[in-house]
Amino acid sequence: MNIIFSTPQNISFTNRTSPKKYQNLSGVENLPCAICGNRMYTKKELEYILDSFTPSIASVFKDKEFESYKDTNAYSLLKELAKKHPKTPIKNAVKDEDFTIKFQFLPEYTQQVITEIVAKASKNKIIAANVIKKIEKLKPAFGEEEVDIFNALKKYAEKYPDKSFSEIFSLSEVYQTHLENIRSYKSSRFPKVNEIMENIRTLGKQLPVEEQDELSIIENEVVRPLIDRIFFNPYLRNKNKEILTDIYTGEQLYRENYAYRTLTKKINILSQYEDLRKHSSNPKVMAKICELAKELPFETRLVDFFILDAAKNHKSDRDIIWDLLSRVVNSYDHIIPRSKDGSNDLSNGLRVHKYCNEERDVIPYSIFSMYKVGLNENIQKQISKIASLITNEKLLNSDEYPTSVRETLLEASDGRIIIDTDSFVKNYQNMIAKKAKGINESKERLFAIVEHYRKINNSISEKIEDLTKEIEELKENKKTNKKLIKNAHKCLEVLMHEEIKLEKKI
């Protein structure tokens, strides 16, 4: 059992069996992320965690909120169910087999009330401090920006110990602080960006005019849009509708698609300057410019968006928790992006955290691998784990994956990402050979069994033949005997006749 929490009192794991065989990569537990190397969680595991925040069915009946249902039939039926599954969350308890059968035959009104109680009890208030206590264990899987969000939430949970996150986020003191952060986003970065751009322009004067033009294109089309603007800001989404061009795909990019994670912005910007350095007539000056660009304020404080988004959309506590949990879910990353005609095939994918997926965005692996520390090792770590699952027959339907994804990565990274699959191929061949041997042995055993029964069958046939002959003989004997008896009768008759004649003569 790979569940991360030691006290999952409200969760029942009875349907989890081991050792297990995985049908596909999205269900593999404990798989390391191909991008950051930290463990990922399956959707199912995260749902278990989310369910653990739902009160048990027994505690629902202690809650005064449900007293108004006391006289209903629905209430007494659920109360009875609570005796059977006291610690299970109500929404899982009603899946009890007997109960679902019973449910179908209940009057419509009773069904409605049951559904109402279940819905109400599942939308319970979840104390922020309790959430923090459990989610803290996920921290090793979080990215830097998720840790930031987590730390901010933790501070709020400590400050308001009896409140839930949805309550905290709608407090005007909290809401206003984050709104102010977003509003001052541009003004707080503007002087720094201007200063760096000014210095770049000054240095650029040593470059030929065409290269100076290129510098200003980078500034206006890449740096300003990525640094100055507020991304994913629900308050501004409908105002400015400027359209940008994606520097990699050439496609038009709308506000909602802009990179918003720190590393994504950093790579998008730095790789443009780096590109210019490579073909510049004065690489020394360009190297200085590249150094300057590294000082740009790339960071977006995601926590402001996290909190404002939850408050504005009136998210429930469950939704807020899920927003955080789902960032570490095992997701499919297109190695060659769909926008570049990458397929949805297994061989075009790596398994990565949802937040790592967002971070890489559509940056080609050839460029991403230059900026993401440890990328090659992390991809290797994931593929090796998958390979060992395949050769131990614990992962089905993915035999071709390690070697085919190796090819995709080579192509997508211009040969920068080289995955070693030699030992996988060797182990795989051994496994196949072993299997073939096993099949041959079974075949031989089967032949021996068939031969054995064939022999038995033959001897039975022989015996049947003998017995048939004997019966035939007996039948023949019977016929002969009948004839003899008949003749004897005749003789007897003749003799008796003769006797009568003699008597008369006398």
Cα 19 to Cα 245: distance, rounded to the nearest angstrom: 50
Sequence-ordered list of residues with C-beta below 8 angstroms from that of 413, at least 6 positions apart, any chain:
364, 365, 366, 369
185 versus 365: smaller Cβ distance to Zn ion: 365
The gap between the terminal CA atoms of the chain, to the nearest Å, is 119
Separation in Å, CA 389 to CA 64, 141, 234, 375, 393: 50, 22, 43, 21, 6
27 versus 55: smaller Cβ distance to Zn ion: 27
* Structure-block tokens of residue 352: 């990565």
Cα 324 to Cα 373: distance, rounded to the nearest angstrom: 24
- Shortest spacing between CB 321 and Zn ion, in angstroms: 20
**DSSP run (H or E) holding 244:** strand 244-245
CA atoms within 13 A on the CB side of 376: 13
User: Would the CA dihedral through 244, 247, 251, 256 be positive or negative?
Assistant: negative
- Shortest spacing between CB 244 and Zn ion, in angstroms: 27
Of the candidates 293, 354, 307, 275, the residue with the CA atom closest to the CA atom of residue 181: 307
25 versus 33: smaller Cβ distance to Zn ion: 33
- Shortest spacing between CB 52 and Zn ion, in angstroms: 23
Of the candidates 29, 25, 38, the residue with the CA atom closest to the CA atom of residue 355: 38
320 versus 379: smaller Cβ distance to Zn ion: 379
- Shortest spacing between CB 353 and Zn ion, in angstroms: 3
Do 198 and 231 meet the contact criterion of CB atoms below 8 Å apart?
no
Sequence-ordered list of residues with C-beta below 8 angstroms from that of 49, at least 6 positions apart, any chain:
4, 5, 134, 135, 138, 325
178 versus 353: smaller Cβ distance to Zn ion: 353
- Shortest spacing between CB 352 and Zn ion, in angstroms: 5
- Shortest spacing between CB 381 and Zn ion, in angstroms: 11
35 versus 128: smaller Cβ distance to Zn ion: 35
- Shortest spacing between CB 38 and Zn ion, in angstroms: 6
**DSSP run (H or E) holding 245:** strand 244-245
Q: What is the Rg, in whole angstroms, of the alpha carbon atoms belonging to the chain? A: 40
- Shortest spacing between CB 32 and Zn ion, in angstroms: 8
255 versus 353: smaller Cβ distance to Zn ion: 353
- Shortest spacing between CB 39 and Zn ion, in angstroms: 9
261 versus 353: smaller Cβ distance to Zn ion: 353
Q: Which residue is nearest to Zn ion (CB)?
A: 33
CB environment 126-156: b (16+ within 10 A), e (fewer) = bbbbebbebbeebeebbbebbebbbebbbeb
266 versus 353: smaller Cβ distance to Zn ion: 353
Q: SS3 string of 319-340? A: HHHHHHHHHHEEEEEECCCHHH
Beta strands in 248-365 (DSSP E): 252-253, 330-334, 349-353
212 versus 384: smaller Cβ distance to Zn ion: 384
122 versus 378: smaller Cβ distance to Zn ion: 378
- Residue 337's region, left for phi above 0, alpha for psi from -120 to 50, else beta, is beta
35 versus 412: smaller Cβ distance to Zn ion: 35
Cα 375 to Cα 365: distance, rounded to the nearest angstrom: 10
The SS3 call for residue 252 is strand
Binding site for Zn ion (CB under 5 A): 33, 35-36, 353, 356
- Shortest spacing between CB 427 and Zn ion, in angstroms: 26
- Shortest spacing between CB 138 and Zn ion, in angstroms: 12
Do 123 and 318 meet the contact criterion of CB atoms below 8 Å apart?
yes
CB neighbour class for 384 (10 Å; exposed up to 12, middle 13-18, buried from 19): middle
353 versus 372: smaller Cβ distance to Zn ion: 353
The SS3 call for residue 158 is helix
- Shortest spacing between CB 34 and Zn ion, in angstroms: 8
- Shortest spacing between CB 249 and Zn ion, in angstroms: 23
